Amino acid sequence: MTLNTLTLNEALKKLAKKEFSLTELYRDIDHAVRTMNPELNVYLSINKEAKKQAADADGPLGGLPLAVKDNFLTRGMPTTASSNVLWGFLPPYESTVTERLRKSGGVIYGKTNMDAWAHGSSTETSDFGPTKNPRNTGYLPGGSSGGSAAAVAADMCIAAIGSETAGSIRQPASWCGVVGLKPTYGRVSRAGIVAMGSSLDSPGPIGKTVEDCALLFGLIAGADPYDATTGDMPVPDLTAVQHAGVKGMKIGIVYMDHPHIRGTDVDKAVKQAGKVFASLGAHVEEVPLSEKLEEGKILTPDYAIGVYTVVQRAEVSSNLARYDGVRYGRDRSYFGEEAKRRIMLGTFTLSKGYADKYYIRAQQVRSLYIKNFHDLFGRYDILISTPTPGYALPLGASAGSPMFGELQDMMVEPSSLAGLPGISVPVYRNPSTNLYLGLNIMADQWQEEKMIRAASAFEQNTDWNPWLKKGHV
Amino acid sequence: MTKTGNGFELVVGMEIHVELKTKSKMFCGCKNDPFRAPKPNIYTCPVCLGMPGGLPVPNKKAVEWTIMLGLALGCRINKLSKFDRKNYFYPDLPKGYQISQYDQPFCTDGSVMTPEGPVGITRVHLEEDTGKLLHTDIDGKRVTLIDYNRSGVPLVEIVTEPDIRSAEQARSFLKKLHQIIQYLDISEADMEKGTMRLEPNISLRTAGSDKLPGYKVEVKNINSFSFVVKAIEYESARQVKILKQGGIPDQETRGFIESQGVTKTQRRKETADDYRYFPEPDIPPFFLDDEFVSSVRAMIPEMPDEKLTRFVSQYGLTEYDARILTETRAKADFFEKAVAIGGVSSKAIANRMINRKIDVLGTQPAEFVNALRKESQKTAVPTETYEAVITEVINSNPKAVEDYRAGKQTALMFLLGQARRKNGSLDPREVIAGLKKKLG
């Protein structure tokens, strides 16, 4: 056993008991990174001060090494968002999330690869080469937080941080067989994160277990004076409620009758998960899919692709305007194909004469999804589904497909448009490919407690989480 | 209604930008003091420099002040308001968009009264100022430097209806607006520095028509009220010439050239600008309930018109004197402090302040009152002097006396003037009373 394979909570317990030293743990992490990073391309940069910072660290994270997606600004450490435009940019300030992690005794071990500007769901659109899926290197890790999910899967860190606009935490978590938590929009500060879709971006933890994510969530969540969209409602202690179980909970299964899903492994795995919850005392039922807004039914995610694409591209086109090469980084000629496409589409949908047809219409449909979830969360405590239509796709699958990400993320786009939280936990492993599927557990806004209880109950009562398997460690 | 005298009528609307003098900038904690900054780019941070990850957090004071100004201009305060992004590229705009307000400004539908008639206020909204470009030579090379000290300074935009019908009305309106802003103490409103910027939109229509002209000419670079007057007069003449020849003036932006008193083409506007406005996702919308609006209303100090009325009734001042004394809050406050000290009549204080143009910022009211008190003791005019002067004036101005007796009140003022010319220390009220008594 090597120490890098420990979960965050295991490592903290063993450190407290002085079963090993931080130096030994960093030695094992360094070894894993040295041997695997050349092939997996998980880290874009490594913090040379990590061990020194670990020795000085003080707080609940005990100096443990964390992998952070490269769109979080880290003072004095390169931050590129995987784009050549930001090559050579050394941020003069720190993102709120990484600042809180550091203050909690966390150490930023390195910055992880991602789709350039977070535009994608494959990590193939990185200007610095794709990341490979550690579970099967012929496959994509998903994205955009593909580097962070792969770092966790490959035990190249103890836990990681990613960010999600729609799917960018949960889809790679699902494909890499790890746990990814997307908080309620506004729960975790976006300050100091390279903006993508500003009305959707939600930073969150990616970890080996639900418990690890629960711990990290508590350390990064909460109102931030530097982000006016953060809510000042109290942050729930997910670690305290995670083992409360699902007895008496009302759970709805959604999207399994969607044509992309019906009859697939995803369909089977999610329904099987429903049975697990039922056996633990929850009331589980399938929520019928509907083509139009109807009470008690889930509105098809098909429209969300259009809505999400229009809203997000509009915000992207405006958010990328600042990269003009005047103050930092390189000029606009370094933008990649996908960024250029998004800038053009976003500019078009906001233009006079078109805004009514696209942007404003999209916002109207967005409000239908919000209404739909409002109705459903009056009936159910949580909704379960899948973060993505299927298994990881082979390397190269995203090339030439500008809508690749939207198709991968369509199952989470409606809930993301509504600002809802969700968590993906491993729900199945295909024995022939070693590829994973994830179970997406969604709750109403600010109700992360409910989804963490279900996620934890599922993880504890099944054998799908590779780190919790009997005999591990 | 003023005509141009050529069968045309002026149609002028104004856009006024005012920088608020809040302590910090609009969306970050940086110091808001660009004009006194010892060096360029020292009051900056990731937010006002448009660094990746910088997010705007609105300045509550700036929002309150904008609403206060709106209320003082008789506006309706929108219950739901929001910020929007106005997207365009310019080197002084670090984010590639300006945070402004598009279709739901804080304040709409107000009005300002001028002696020439009311001027409607279309809207009052809040936005952020840009950085400043400096074109210069360094080592023989032509370069453009950018100073971001001003980037993100809170900026209020006031837009009027096209209700202004003469250059003089434009001046009256601007003076009134300036006075209101200065009373609210929310801006330095200094046109030289550019903390108050004026942009008239000028066009002409056939006199008697109530249709808006099909074009408008926007004039920029104007840094005083007199130049607004000059620009409007110049434009009016220029446009009349074109219209008389059967042409239509171009829709364009022109710059005012101070040294020549003329306007020159800056930018033709053949198509409407497309700023691709959309709601600023980084700032939640504002729900302004009645309670909040009332609390802002309660912060509004006594405004010039109310103060003027009160000065007339409370201190027995003439409307003319009261108007001068309420021109600025500083003057009015000085006057009231001096009166409160006592020992000298309010009229004497008013007279002295007006006649000697007392520097109210550089003088202590107590000193002023003491000096006045000593002097008036010295120069107290005996009753016999009044008698003598009044008799003399009546005898030497038979025409005026006759006019007065025929009912011409102005003749009395003429006689008063003659008396004051003979002896400047006479109290006008005493003289008038004496004249009336003598003349029956």
Instruction: List pLDDT tens digits, range B80-121.
Output: 999 999 999 999 999 999 999 999 999 999 999 999 999 999
pLDDT at A471: 45
Peptide bond into A144 cis (omega under 30): yes
Give the span between the Cα atoms of B160 and A366, in whole angstroms: 36
Chain B residues with CB under 8 Å of a chain A CB are 46, 49-58, 85, 87, 89, 91, 94-97, 146, 272, 274, 276-278, 281-284
Task: Give strand ranges (E) for B115-153.
Answer: 117-128, 132-138, 141-147
The amino acid at residue B53 is G
Is the ipTM beyond the 0.85 threshold?
Answer: yes
| Closest of B25, B314, B261, B301 to residue B153, by C-alpha | B25
Please check whether residue B295 is in contact with residue B273, taking contact to mean a CB–CB distance below 8 angstroms.
no
**In the block, residue with structure tokens 């952020």:** B128
Q: Which of B103, B276, B277 should we substitute to test contact with A (largest number of A Cβ atoms within 10 Å)? A: B276
pLDDT at B21: 98
Provide the CA A423 distance to its chain's centre, in angstroms.
Answer: 8
The pair phi, psi for residue A175, each rounded to 5°, is -70, -30
pLDDT at B436: 87
Q: DSSP letters along A229-265, please? A: TS--SPPP-HHHHGGG--TT-EEEE-STTSTTTTTSH
Contact call for A350 and B89, based on CB within 8 A: no
Q: What is the pTM of this model?
A: 0.90
Chain A residues with CB under 8 Å of a chain B CB are 73, 79, 81, 86, 89, 91-93, 95, 190-195, 197-199, 225-229, 314-315, 317-318, 320-324, 326-328, 347, 350-352, 355, 359
Give the span between the Cα atoms of B91 and B107, in whole angstroms: 30
pLDDT at B134: 94
The pair phi, psi for residue B129, each rounded to 5°, is -80, 165
| Token output for B190 | 């200094």
Distance from CA of B96 to the nearest CA of A (A): 5
**In B, which residues are within 8 Å of A86 by CB distance?**
52
**In B, which residues are within 8 Å of A355 by CB distance?**
276-278
Give the span between the Cα atoms of A344 and A339, in whole angstroms: 9
Query: Which residues are registered as beta bridge partners of A385?
Result: A440
Contact call for B281 and A198, based on CB within 8 A: yes
**In the block, residue with structure tokens 């802002």:** B296
**In B, which residues are within 8 Å of A77 by CB distance?**
none
pLDDT at B437: 85
Query: pLDDT tens, B292-301?
Result: 999 999 999 9
Give the span between the Cα atoms of B430 and B128, in whole angstroms: 57
Asked if pLDDT for residue B377 goes beyond 90, the answer is no
Q: How many CB atoms lie within 10 A of CB B40?
A: 17
| Closest of A436, A429, A437 to residue A384, by C-alpha | A437
Give the span between the Cα atoms of A313 and A318, in whole angstroms: 9
First vs last C-alpha separation in chain B: 42
Give the span between the Cα atoms of B169 and B165, in whole angstroms: 7
Q: Which burial class, exposed, middle or buried, applies to B137 when counting CB atoms under 10 A from its CB (0-12, 13-18, 19+)?
A: exposed
Asked if pLDDT for residue B1 goes beyond 70, the answer is no
Longest dimension (CA), chain A: 67
Greater model confidence, B404 or A380 = A380
Please check whether residue B67 is in contact with residue B85, taking contact to mean a CB–CB distance below 8 angstroms.
no
Dihedral Cα A145, A150, A153, A157, nearest 10 deg: -90
Contact call for B55 and A199, based on CB within 8 A: no
| Token output for B273 | 């600008």
Q: For A141, which DSSP code?
A: -
Distance from CA of B53 to the nearest CA of A (A): 4
Please check whether residue A399 is in contact with residue A439, taking contact to mean a CB–CB distance below 8 angstroms.
no
For residue B85, the chain A residue with the least C-alpha distance is: A318
Give the span between the Cα atoms of A238 and A447, in whole angstroms: 10
Contact call for B53 and A193, based on CB within 8 A: yes
Task: Give strand ranges (E) for A138-234.
Answer: 159-164, 179-182, 202-207
Q: How many CB atoms lie within 10 A of CB A194?
A: 30
Q: What angle do CA A312, B153, B17 make, to 5 degrees?
A: 100
CA distances from B282 to A311, A369, B26, B45 (A): 14, 21, 14, 17
Find the CB nearest B50 among A73, A314, A322.
A322
Give the span between the Cα atoms of A50 and A26, in whole angstroms: 9
Contact call for B52 and A359, based on CB within 8 A: no
Query: Which residues are registered as beta bridge partners of B121?
Result: B110, B160
Helix (H) or strand (E) holding A273: helix A265-279
Average pLDDT of the segment spanning B186-205: 95
Contact call for B53 and A227, based on CB within 8 A: no
Distance from CA of A333 to the nearest CA of B (A): 16
Distance from CA of B94 to the nearest CA of A (A): 6
Give catalytic residues of A, as residue numbers.
69, 144, 168
The Cβ-side half-sphere exposure at B189, using a 13 Å CA radius, reads: 21
Find the CB nearest B46 among A81, A93, A350.
A93
Task: Give strand ranges (E) for A6-155.
Answer: 43-46, 65-69, 107-112
Q: Considering Cα of A343, then A348, then A350, then A355, what sign does the dihedral take?
A: negative
Helices B304-315, B346-355: crossing angle, 10 deg rounding:
130
pLDDT at A473: 41
The pair phi, psi for residue A186, each rounded to 5°, is 95, -5
Contact call for B278 and A194, based on CB within 8 A: no
pLDDT at B427: 77
Helices B329-341, B346-355: crossing angle, 10 deg rounding:
140
pLDDT bucket at B380, cuts 50 / 70 / 90: low
pLDDT at B5: 65
Contact call for B95 and A321, based on CB within 8 A: yes
Strands B8-19 and B97-100: unpaired
Q: DSSP letters along B28-71, please? A: SSSB--TTT-SSTT-S--TTTTT-TT------HHHHHHHHHHHH
**In A, which residues are within 8 Å of B92 by CB distance?**
none
Side-by-side strand order, sheet with B154-160:
B76-77, B107-114, B117-128, B154-160, B8-19, B196-206, B217-220, B252-257, B262-268
Helices B167-184, B60-72: crossing angle, 10 deg rounding:
130
Runs of H (alpha helix) within A351-447: 361-379, 404-409, 413-417
Q: How many CB atoms lie within 10 A of CB B206?
A: 11
| Token output for A413 | 């786009």
Distance from CA of A191 to the nearest CA of B (A): 5
| Closest of B297, B300, B76, B292 to residue B184, by C-alpha | B300
| Contacts of range B344-351, beta carbons closer than 8 Å, 24 or more positions apart | B344/B369, B344/B372, B344/B373, B344/B376, B346/B315, B346/B316, B346/B317, B347/B315, B347/B316, B347/B317, B347/B427, B347/B429, B348/B372, B348/B376, B350/B315, B350/B317, B350/B321, B350/B325, B351/B321
Helices A22-40, A8-16: crossing angle, 10 deg rounding:
160
Q: DSSP letters along B215-262, please? A: --EEEE-B-SHHHHHHHHHHHHHHHHHHHHTT-----EEEEEETTTTE
For residue B99, the chain A residue with the least C-alpha distance is: A318
Please check whether residue B123 is in contact with residue B108, taking contact to mean a CB–CB distance below 8 angstroms.
yes
Asked if pLDDT for residue B378 goes beyond 80, the answer is no
| Phi-psi domain of B140 (left: phi exceeds 0; alpha: psi -120 through 50; beta: other) | left
* Segments of chain A scoring below 70 in pLDDT: 470-473
pLDDT at A208: 98
Average pLDDT of the segment spanning B164-176: 97
Please check whether residue A417 is in contact with residue A392, taking contact to mean a CB–CB distance below 8 angstroms.
no
Contact call for B51 and A92, based on CB within 8 A: yes
| Token output for B296 | 């802002």
Q: Considering Cα of A307, then A310, then A315, then A319, what sign does the dihedral take?
A: positive
**In B, which residues are within 8 Å of A81 by CB distance?**
52
Distance from CA of B263 to the nearest CA of A (A): 31
Helices B290-297, B60-72: crossing angle, 10 deg rounding:
80
Give the span between the Cα atoms of A426 and A444, in whole angstroms: 21
pLDDT at B358: 85
Give the span between the Cα atoms of A284 and A274, in whole angstroms: 6
Contact call for B278 and A359, based on CB within 8 A: yes
Helix (H) or strand (E) holding B354: helix B346-355
Give the span between the Cα atoms of A411 and A390, in whole angstroms: 11
